[in-house]
Structure 1
Amino acid sequence: MASSSSFSLEATVQDDVERTADPPDVEIDVVCTPHVSETVPDSAKRTQERSDFQDDGETPPLTTYRVYKRRFIGLAQLVLLNIVVSWDWLTFSAVSTTSAEYFKVSEGAVNWMSTGSLFAFCAATPIVMYTLNKGGPKPAITATSILLLVGNWIRYAGTRANRKNGGIFGLAMFGQILIGFAQPFCLSAPTRYSDLWFSDRGRTSATALATLANPFGAALGQLVDSFWAPTASDVPDMVLYISIIATVASIPSIFLPAAPPTPPSASSLAPKTPLLEAITKILQSLEFWLIFIPFSIYVGFFNSVSSLLNQILSPHGFSETDAGIAGGILIIVGLVASAIVSPITDRFKHYLGTIKILVPIVAASYIGFIFAPSSPAGIAPSFVVCALLGASSFSLLPVSLEYLVEITYPFSPEVGSTLCWTGGQLLGAIFIVVQDALKAGADDSPPFHMRNALIFSAAVAAAVVPLPLSLGLFGREVKRRRSQADRGGPGPVRNAATLTESVTITAAAAEPTGLDSKQMTR
């Protein structure tokens, strides 16, 4: 080469009122071109000479980074599917007493409706991880839709057949297990989808929106199911309504684009570590375990508390409607809190500080749950604890997932997130069984109270608090590798430590209109 090269980013930011030749849904263009520099050492020269750019006098190829408005269509579909699949998961648990009466089984058997779904989630994990890694989010979304359709209508058949004698519990359980197979496909997809379609300025918010749609569906189940099935005879109609909603929500999946025409950022374009190698290496990372263990435990307890909330409150004289309102508060307050925290985290990237603030609050909320149901103040303390637990848990969830992607880059995003979700679902199933076994007997006061189960959840939740608080301590440096790659810093995409990087941001029509351009050199 006649002179050394480094990389220059020319960003064209389009205003909504600007008329350009780009497609109507393109929001940002970022074009990578070589930039002349006289200060690059020989090692960088040799690296550059081995690149794809040819020293033959021709203009090297351009790499264009764009984000498209159509990305919100796929995000909306992910949100919709996560709402429905979670609503399906808690269909019977939200009205456990009524469902047990209809099917003529015990409440423990009804608990297995949600527990079986969680175990099905774990069983499907290897297929989910392979699908997301090799095919991306589109095949995963399609698989979710198919399993939701089949599972919901089999479940309805199980409740409608032999209605006079309480339906066919085994058939309804089979449909519930199929829905359990559907859940990991859409619940593990948000980090992969946001990495594929969004730049670093919107990934955390996109992940939060799609991920937290799942507990929002649980909130709908808690609130709506108790009104749709006030008596045992209404259970088949409740399942029918949910099946119709699931059918409508599944249809748009087939029309989604598989990937954007151009990548949104440098980290999205970079090749990811092969799947088996990524799994092996991520399991050897101490930082992964410091996030994985508390994440799995808190997700597990959230699942168990959501499933058992009616049974936690009913021994103290509260109705299924009260439990439904408590579940709604848990999730709606959490969604509002996350809607505030996630954009702030997107802007300032304070992942670790946010995690270290929220984890102790989550643990304190589970401790508060020991005393809230039996409080002489009535249902109000339970509502307050649910609000606090929801706000802290929901804010923590997407931040933890995105932080895990940041520190494990260049591993593909679905690897860490799928492992974490699988741990949470597995522990959720185990916790439901354990806490159901810890339920008091008929001779206790009040009968069938779950104080011991709540003590168990509080003790375990408090025990894992030191793990995430240890991140970045004891001489271990934790780097946000994906952010470094997006900004052209040292990272797995390009070894740019010795290269001079310049960034030019130009208005969309700068050249033809004579508008000023701003140049920033880092």
Structure 2
Amino acid sequence: MPKFRFAKREEAVTSIGMSPIKGSGGSIEERSTESPREYRLYKRRWIGLLALVILNIVSGMVLVWFGPIANNVVADFGFTLDQVNWFGNVVNVVYLPSALVVPYLYGRLGLRGTGYIGAFLFIVSGWVRYAGTARSLSKSDSLALIMIGQLLAGLTVPIFQVIIPSYSERWFDLKGRTTATMIMGLSNPVGNALGQLIPPLIGTTRQSLLVMAIIFTVAAPVVFLVGDHPPTPPTFAASHKHPSMMSLVHAMLGRMPRDQYTYMTFRQRLDFAIMVLVFGVLVGIINSFTILTAQQLGPYGYSDDTAGFMGAALLLVGLVAAAVTAPLYDRVLTHHLALSCKLLTPIMAACWIALIWEIKPNNDVVLYVLMALIGGTSLSLLPVVLELAVELTRNADGSSAILWLSTNLFGLIFVLVEGALRAGPDANPPLNMRRAFIFQASVISASVLLIHLVEGKQTRRAQDEIKRDQAERATHQHVGIEVVEVPSERDDKRSSREMVPPSHMEKVHIQLPLRLLRSRGSVPAQVRISLEAHHDLGAVVTHRSRSRARRTRHHCPSA
């Protein structure tokens, strides 16, 4: 049970005025004369989060939309499979330079201004792509218009994806940051899953592109719901100005002065480099798999619908796993992000190795199980890696841009390599991609070994916790309460209470357990304490915040 310690104070406590204690007790009333700095959360952060979720879901459809219907697109338009693959590849190609430009746009235009550009590109890309379905066009004209539409849509993906860790840092505190990153970070895979499910369910490929244009047009206006930053930051990290991309480059090159907030030690630079490589490989393999799903499974007798469902199973199970684990990382495993990566990645690698032998005819159940395991292990780590990268760099925009750039770079490379590894028409079965499965498993296994070299020290969280505690102590001292850590274990000895009843006109200093004040809500603006000098000495503390008042009574029995 929490204990209070009452002790004499020699110096005057200017923030507390005491009336004489006469028999039954006295009262202390204090009103703060100035507003101490505090960290604050705003409910509207959830509105912006929901808007970014919708925008990332829609942008996530772009990459994989043609994957499950690749064979149908070839039949309807006369394109080759390699040309259809480039509808996904062009998104990865345009992502590479765009990801580096996006942090600069955020710095110049802010989140909302940059979002307007993305929303405009949403609408234009959807209808340019649909214009390519006109039957009066030649095959080359249709290919050009659809490719241009994909290129414009690809520009929107980094606009809404790179900002995710930065938005979490600006609007959420330590207990919600990883969860917010999870919700927004996994919205892009949700778009991938929907991009796997929707196209096979629509009548024709031309109708599917019309539906895509409508979805893009309807989703674009939600960008008006996203705010740049809150009036009062929720954490110490959120109070800093957005670091530029060049500051991250200087930090990685070891040219950042030690006294700068974004300074990185050699170990942190090494950890971040390893994470960029591993994250790029793991997510790039998944991206390439979702693009090539129909081509990888089709030779073994699986329909486009089944291929789409398996790709969706990978993504949807991963979403559920991430939704379960993200709150644990915020509240339980707060200091074990790197350890989680080291434990889960070997399971994921084993599943990719198993696919070499398990992709065969009439093996649906085993494939669904493997897809679920791959999704559950890989996607639950996605927000963990994004947050851990910010912990190492203290640069949310820059680290996110480089991580996502690496995924698109590796995804592009893997699609090209695996397409080249496709067997010929005389193979058994014809056009199978068994060599591509071996390539996937080999690359993932090698990258998983590297993750065990990461130390993963969470510097940003440590700084935020220190500054949060300092702010609480400063605020409570401002209202006349000194905050100290007091053991809560039950102790009946008199020495543990150290209660010295106040005399007639003495100043009294009151020490309360830090976790008690922390659990009672926001910092009090007014505190009223009544002391009763009888057989029981008690304290009544009333907390009054801006939004509501709370009253709690704590008793300290006399010795």
Match of 1:516 in 2: 552
Q: 1:236 to 1:283 in 2, by over 3 A?
A: farther
Match of 2:279 in 1: 295
Higher RCO (Cα < 8 Å, 6 or more apart): 2
Match of 1:401 in 2: 386
SS of equivalent residue, structure 1 residue 516: strand
Number of residue pairs matched? Answer: 448
Q: Distance in 2 between matches of 1:103 and 1:517?
A: 76
Q: Which amino acid aligns with 1:403?
A: L
- Which of 448, 473, 477 is the equivalent residue of 1:465? 448
Q: Which amino acid aligns with 2:355?
A: F
1:386 lines up with 2:364 in the alignment: no
| Structure 1 residue 164: Cα displacement | 8.6
Residue deviations 1:422-461 (CA, integer Å, cap 9, x gap)? 0110110111011001000000000000000110111010
1:267 lines up with 2:237 in the alignment: yes
Match of 1:364 in 2: 350
Q: Distance in 1 between matches of 2:33 and 2:437?
A: 67
Which runs of no fewer than 5 residues in structure 1 stay unpaired? Answer: 1-35, 39-57, 473-477
Q: Which amino acid aligns with 1:358?
A: L
Residue deviations 1:228-257 (CA, integer Å, cap 9, x gap)? 14xxxx212111111111111111212433
Residue deviations 1:279-324 (CA, integer Å, cap 9, x gap)? 2213651010121110011111111101001101000011001101
- Which of 330, 340, 356 is the equivalent residue of 1:354? 340
SS of equivalent residue, structure 1 residue 325: helix
Which runs of no fewer than 5 residues in structure 2 stay unpaired? Answer: 1-8, 12-31, 255-268, 475-481, 485-513, 525-541, 555-559
Superposed counterparts of 1:76-225, under 5 Å: 76-160=50-134, 162=136, 168-225=142-199
Q: 1:446 to 1:430 in 2, by over 3 A?
A: same
Q: Which amino acid aligns with 2:129?
A: R
Tell which deviates more after alignment, 359-368 or 392-401.
359-368
Superposed counterparts of 1:49-88, under 5 Å: 62-88=36-62
Q: Distance in 2 between matches of 1:365 and 1:137?
A: 39
SS of equivalent residue, structure 1 residue 515: strand
- Which of 305, 308, 314 is the equivalent residue of 1:321? 305
Match of 1:9 in 2: none
TM-score, reference length from structure 2 = 0.75
| Aligned partners of 1:94 and 1:225 also within 8 Å | yes
| Structure 1 residue 275: Cα displacement | 3.4
Tell which deviates more after alignment, 359-368 or 331-340.
359-368
Q: 1:434 to 1:328 in 2, by over 3 A?
A: same
Q: Which amino acid aligns with 2:131?
A: A
1:341 lines up with 2:310 in the alignment: no
Q: Distance in 2 between matches of 1:449 and 1:514?
A: 68
1:413 lines up with 2:391 in the alignment: no
SS of equivalent residue, structure 1 residue 446: coil
The sequence identity of aligned pairs, in percent, is 33
Coordinate RMSD, CA, aligned: 2.8
| Aligned partners of 1:103 and 1:166 also within 8 Å | no
Q: Distance in 2 between matches of 1:511 and 1:319?
A: 64
Q: Which amino acid aligns with 2:462?
A: Q
SS of equivalent residue, structure 2 residue 424: coil
| Structure 1 residue 132: Cα displacement | 3.1
Q: 1:511 to 1:92 in 2, by over 3 A?
A: closer
Q: Distance in 1 between matches of 2:253 and 2:208?
A: 43
| Aligned partners of 2:49 and 2:226 also within 8 Å | no
Residue deviations 1:183-231 (CA, integer Å, cap 9, x gap)? 11111111011011111111111111111111111111111111114xx
Tell which deviates more after alignment, 137-146 or 353-362.
137-146
| Aligned partners of 1:102 and 1:166 also within 8 Å | no
| Aligned partners of 2:104 and 2:244 also within 8 Å | no
Tell which deviates more after alignment, 93-102 or 377-386.
377-386
* Largest Rg, 1 or 2: 2
